[in-house]
Amino acid sequence: MSATSIGELEAQIDAAPDDDALYAVYGDLLARRNDPRGELIALQLAAQAQTGKAADKLRALATKYLATHATALLGPLAADASALTWRAGFIRRFALPPAPGRSPVPSIERLLRHPSGRFLVELGATVADPAAAELVLRVLAQGAPGSLRDLALVARAELDVTALLAAVPRLARLSLTALALDLGEPGALALPALQRLALVAATLTTACVLAVARAPWPKLERLELRFGSHAADPATFADVRQLLARTDLPALTHLKLRNVPFAGAIVRELVYLPLTRQLHVLDLSHGSMSPADAAVVLANPAAFAHLRELWLPMRHLRPADRTALAALGTHVVSDQRAVADQTEKLLGLE
């Protein structure tokens, strides 16, 4: 096989990192070159194809083989072995747990340089330091493989992710937790393959929400936004309204707008909008809703009757309002049952 065809095969795996047939061809090529990874690919693919004791035996063989050839297959990555998940001869998932006083930058750099990280699909990391967060973004923007589909970052910093997102256009799942987020100019954000997006911040700014509201999301199924009030330019209802009014989000079924001071205005708007009819889950927990907002929901139960879950901020409502809302059906859930919002603690603001 020529060098060009090797590159073509790698490009095919980048485009379809779950296609085992492509890894099998790649493994055959490496085996003919006496590359130890060829046998590891064969063992791990064989284990995936089996069940029960047969699968257990093959997984044990693959683990033993990996240990035997650790110098070639793991090398400097051994220091982070517990953070690695292998599949089809390569590291599929890298989930580095937070460690006080340790920057994840060296670990991520080693991973992206090593052949075993060539077809990385999932990456998660927590960064405590703003300078380290900036380095993580730069390293990923410069070296993230085309196979990357799932990215989760937590940082006690303000993150400008415009360059990073331009470098990973095939992302299917993105989760960002930060003090503040810069996604670029409204209308410029394009992740056409994205299926799940979670943006959790001390405050989501107008610019950030407008970037989301105006982006093309043909495959977006789940959207979670966590608002707040720590920035000088927090998003307003007018910004969110542009998102709610969209009729070009065909796959969206889960909408979570949490910690919104104007949650009541959102629920009143959604009574009349087409977007509501396609949702399965609407989560407005930890927001603010008045008795007048609750009255609108009570007067229009059919607007939300199809939902599997409707999470409403009931903490500050009158007991009679909470009782009336709960009587609408089991799909109506008070945020008194929701997990406590730990965002500010996570970001070091408490």
pLDDT of residue 350: 65
What's the mean pLDDT when you consider all of the chain? 93
pLDDT in tens, 171-204: 999 999 999 999 988 777 889 999 999 999 988 9
3-state SS, residue 239: helix
Percentage of residues of the chain with pLDDT beyond 90: 84
pLDDT of residue 230: 67
Percentage of residues of the chain with pLDDT beyond 70: 98
Question: What is the Cα–Cα distance from 165 to 183, expressed in whole angstroms?
Answer: 8
pLDDT of residue 203: 86
pLDDT of residue 189: 84
The mean per-residue pLDDT over the stretch 31-47 comes to 94
Q: In which band, very low, low, confident or very high, does the pLDDT at 27 lie, cut at 50, 70 and 90?
A: very high
CA distances from 154 to 95, 97, 136, 302 (A): 12, 11, 11, 39
Of 103, 228, 98, 122, the closest CA to residue 175 belongs to 122
Q: What pTM did the predictor assign? A: 0.93
Of 164, 197, 157, the closest CA to residue 181 belongs to 157
pLDDT of residue 228: 80
Q: In which band, very low, low, confident or very high, does the pLDDT at 231 lie, cut at 50, 70 and 90?
A: low
For residue 122, give both structure tokens: 């999932």
Task: Please give the helix or strand (H or E) that residue 261 lies within, else none.
Answer: none
pLDDT beyond 50 at 143: yes
- Return the number of other C-beta atoms located less than 10 Å from residue 341's C-beta: 16
The mean per-residue pLDDT over the stretch 207-230 comes to 92
3-state SS, residue 85: strand
* Cα 283 off chain centre by: 17
Task: Please give the helix or strand (H or E) that residue 260 lies within, else none.
Answer: none
Helix/strand number for the chain, H first, E second:
15, 13
The mean per-residue pLDDT over the stretch 307-319 comes to 94
pLDDT in tens, 76-132: 999 999 999 999 999 999 998 887 778 899 999 999 999 999 999 999 999 988 999
Of 86, 92, 91, the closest CA to residue 63 belongs to 86
The mean per-residue pLDDT over the stretch 148-167 comes to 94
Question: What is the Cα–Cα distance from 264 to 317, expressed in whole angstroms?
Answer: 11
Question: What is the Cα–Cα distance from 179 to 154, expressed in whole angstroms?
Answer: 9
pLDDT of residue 3: 46
Of 195, 209, 202, the closest CA to residue 253 belongs to 195
More confident residue, 350 or 131: 131
How many residues are given for the chain?
Answer: 350
pLDDT beyond 70 at 15: yes
pLDDT of residue 1: 43
The mean per-residue pLDDT over the stretch 154-172 comes to 94
CA distances from 123 to 15, 54, 159 (A): 17, 30, 17
Non-local CB neighbours of 324 within 8 Å, separated by 6+ positions:
294, 298
pLDDT beyond 50 at 335: yes
CA distances from 285 to 198, 298, 335, 341 (A): 15, 18, 5, 9
Q: Which domains does the chain have, with CATH numbers?
A: 194-350 (3.80.10.10)
For residue 163, give both structure tokens: 């360059």
